[in-house]
Structure 1
Amino acid sequence: MIGQADAEAAFLEAWQADRLHHAWLLAGPQGMGKGSFAMRVARFLVTHGRSGDATTLDDPGDSAASRLADAGNHPEIIHLTRQPKDKGKELARNITIDQVRGMIRRLHLSLSLGEWRVVIIDAVDDLETDGANALLKTLEEPPARTLFLLVSHSPGRLLPTIRSRCRILRFQPVGRDVMTSWLHDLRAMLDMAEVRAIVTASGGVPGKALALIDSDVAALEKKLLAIATTGDPGNRLRDALAREIGGSSNRERLELVIDIVPGLLARIARERPVAEIAPVLAQWDRIQRTVRDAIRGSYDGAMVGFEIGNCLAELAPREAQPAR
């Protein structure tokens, strides 16, 4: 994990003072490492006592409990997540009410090892309505020595009554300098142009950055910038973009373009006089509408790509645009 020292410090401060709130909402964009943080907290609690002087969640603690936690077999760590459907690879749409009921039954049992039981729900956004209501009742009357860690990518969509019973830890996007240094250390062979492109496209989300490492982001960014610079007379670049990201097999390339465009437009806006920023913002609004409408409809990648190209072409200097 990178860039989340504040969240770790806040938790350890509460633990050291023996004032742990019974429920913590880990809120932030998907890919920030919230699930990994929850697992580190769970491992820490089941390998330590009620309070102490540890200064990091990676403090080893009790070795026997640590081995069980690392193997995923510790009896006091309960992990709820979406399960595979019909023994296949595809995951169920929700965390079911039956999973929540099973968790509640385990909460009535006495602790069999250590001083803490930890429940991780990743993500709490995935709970069925009945499951969310059942969880709420448990949060209202929590068992002793039980800690709930609720991972949420969209906390605004949760029941307000669930949010109100949690202490919130917000996981903020990581700064550009920290992300750049981290990626350089992680993949020293990446050239700096590629690192900068990944950092921009990831929006400060480490998980997204990892997914982009082998995607040749810099080359795709260069193609998009060429459309915005030349106006693409004859539509050659736009046609090529539509072919590259069209079709169901190219969905990841389409999503990559959607990730790249905001940073690219911000870069163009920074390089232009203040009086010329409004057209950039207008094209960004147009791109957002295009993507939103496509998601609601058939999600035609070729159409989305060509229309994004049209928006970028509108930003080319007037002398580079074809006469109308």
Structure 2
Amino acid sequence: MIGHEQAEQAFIEAWQTGRLHHAWLLAGPQGMGKGQFAARVARFLVTHGRSGDGEPIALDDPGDTAAGRLVDAGNHPEIIHLTRQIKDKGKELARNITIDQVRGVIRRLHLSLSLGEWRVIIVDAVDDLETDGANALLKTLEEPPARTLFLLVSHSPGRLLPTIRSRCRTLRFQPVDRDVMTAWLHDQRAMLDMSEVRAIAVASGGVPGKALALIDSDVSAMEKKLLAIASSGDPGNRLREALAREVGGSSNRARLELVIDIVPSLISQLVRERPIAEIAPVLAQWDRVQRNVRDAIRGSYDGAMVGFEIGNCLAELAPRQGQAAR
């Protein structure tokens, strides 16, 4: 993944000097590859010794091949994942990581290491811990077992218990510069037209995972639908109703996220095209979209309702008849 260079350097330097903090908070937007980084760190630790000898080494150095094969097979006994579980007889994930899951991991920490010199606990994401689970994890972070490393993935570190944050060393994963993202995307999907690559780089906000998801979606088709609402005003609600159907329901969550991702850049495009006197109303709708999205994310929201409301914001941007005549 792109954008991990500073985090890799910080971790390797700590390991080389033998001053490896027992808990690391991997903080940044969802889609930056923090979970993948945690997996790479876990693999590195269980395939290497406690610290380096001063020689240059990379995070993806293979190390012990036997341990590496166990990691590849998902069977290494000292890498423990703490994440939301699939609900009974269903396909959806549970809402939270439960206190029982945390207690189960804590019981394992009392056992001796069965292989190698490190045990690694990956919590992905720590934001998903229910309150009792967060408090139980905090007690373990306050009195960590020897030769145990915690990797806490967080998309919203500001929402964590301050006491959890204070027990961790933070690695921040920042959005990637637009030009770097454009070049990387072109390497990933060389068959795409550069104009589409640039549009995706802008819409992704510098988040690689989001950019790849946008590529795998039909971005241009969705943009045309949204621009049709903004240009016509959709007087009969037909386009907005179709949009609501397309993004409604749990099975269409990816389409809803696509709309949420690309609408700000579409509105920015409209701002650049409008006369100065018409910019203020366009910016007002941009702010309205942002408020609606924030309110939706905070609650358990209905995708169809969010999609229709975004359509309402775009419909407000349609030129009035008098303006169109000019």
Q: Above 0.5 in TM-score?
A: yes
Cα separation, partners in 2 of 1:321 and 1:313, compared to 1, 3 Å:
farther
Write the letter of the residue equivalent to 1:6. Answer: Q
CA RMSD of aligned residues (A): 2.7
Q: Give the equivalent residue in structure 2 for 1:261.
A: 263
Q: Which whole-Å CA distance do the structure 1 matches of 2:218 and 2:86 have between them? A: 32
Partners of 2:2 and 2:296 in 1: CA distance: 34
Give the TM-score taking structure 1 as reference length: 0.87
1:40, CA displacement in angstroms? 0.3
Secondary structure, counterpart of 2:80 in structure 1: strand
% identical aligned pairs: 80
Q: 1:55 to 1:153 in 2, by over 3 A?
A: same
Partner of residue 16, structure 2: 16
Aligned match for 1:299, one of 299, 302, 307: 302
Partner Cα distance (2:95, 2:293) in 1? 23
Give, in whole Å, the separation in 2 of the partners of 1:321 and 1:251. 36
- Measure, in 1, the Cα distance between the counterparts of 2:233 and 2:93: 45
Match of 1:122 in 2: 124
Provide the C-alpha distance between the structure 1 equivalents of 2:168 and 2:279, rounded to a whole number of angstroms. 42
Q: Counterpart amino acid of 1:160? A: P
Change (3 A) 1:278 1:74: same
One of 197, 200, 204 as aligned partner of 1:198: 200
Shift of 1:270: 4.9
Structure 1 residues 157 and 45, CA gap change in structure 2 (3 angstroms): same
Question: Is 1:285 aligned to residue 284 of structure 2?
Answer: no
Amino acid at match of 1:11: F
Residue in structure 2 matched with residue 39 of structure 1 by the alignment: 39
Kindly report which structure 2 residues correspond to 1:91-130, keeping only aligned pairs within 5 A, or say none: 91-130=93-132
Gaps of 5+ in 1: none
CA distance in 2, matches of 1:292, 1:181: 31
Q: Structure 1 residue 66 and structure 2 residue 65: aligned?
A: no
Distance 1:263 1:140, change over 3 A: same
What is the match of residue 141 of structure 2?
139
Q: Which residue of 1 aligns with 2:182?
A: 180
Q: 1:20 to 1:212 in 2, by over 3 A?
A: same
Q: Does the CA-based 8 Å contact 1:3-1:178 persist in structure 2? A: no
Q: Flag the 1:54–1:283 CA change in 2: closer, same or farther, 3 A.
A: same
Distance 2:308 2:145 in 1: 56
Q: What are the ranges of 5 or more consecutive residues in structure 2 without an aligned counterpart?
A: none
Change (3 A) 1:42 1:274: farther
CA contact (8 A) 1:233 1:322 kept: no
Secondary structure of the equivalent of 1:72? coil
Residues 197 and 218, structure 1, Cα contact 8 Å, conserved in 2? no
SS of 2:13's partner is helix
Once the two structures are superposed, the pairs formed by residues 215-294 of structure 1 within 5 Å of their partners are: 215-225=217-227, 227-228=229-230, 230=231, 232=232, 235=235, 239-246=238-245, 247-248=248-249, 250-270=252-272, 277-291=279-293
**Residues of 2 paired with 1:225 and 1:214: CA distance?**
20
Asked whether 1:83 is paired with 2:85, we answer: yes
- 1:204-225 deviation digits (Å, cap 9, x = unpaired): 2222222222322123224434
Deviates more, 1:213-222 or 1:132-141: 213-222
CA contact (8 A) 2:229 2:240 kept: no
Distance 1:123 1:209, change over 3 A: same
Q: When the two structures are aligned, how many residues end up with a matched partner?
A: 319
**Is residue 2:6 matched to residue 1:3?**
no
Amino acid at match of 1:33: G
Q: TM-score, normalised on structure 2?
A: 0.87
SS at match of 2:302: coil
Q: Conserved in 2, the CA contact under 8 Å of 1:24 and 1:148?
A: yes
Q: Deviations over 1:5-42 (max 9, x none)?
A: 11111111111111111100011111111111001000
Distance in 2 of aligned mates of 1:320 and 1:225: 20
- Supply the distance in 1 between the matched residues of 2:269 and 2:4 (Cα, whole angstroms): 27
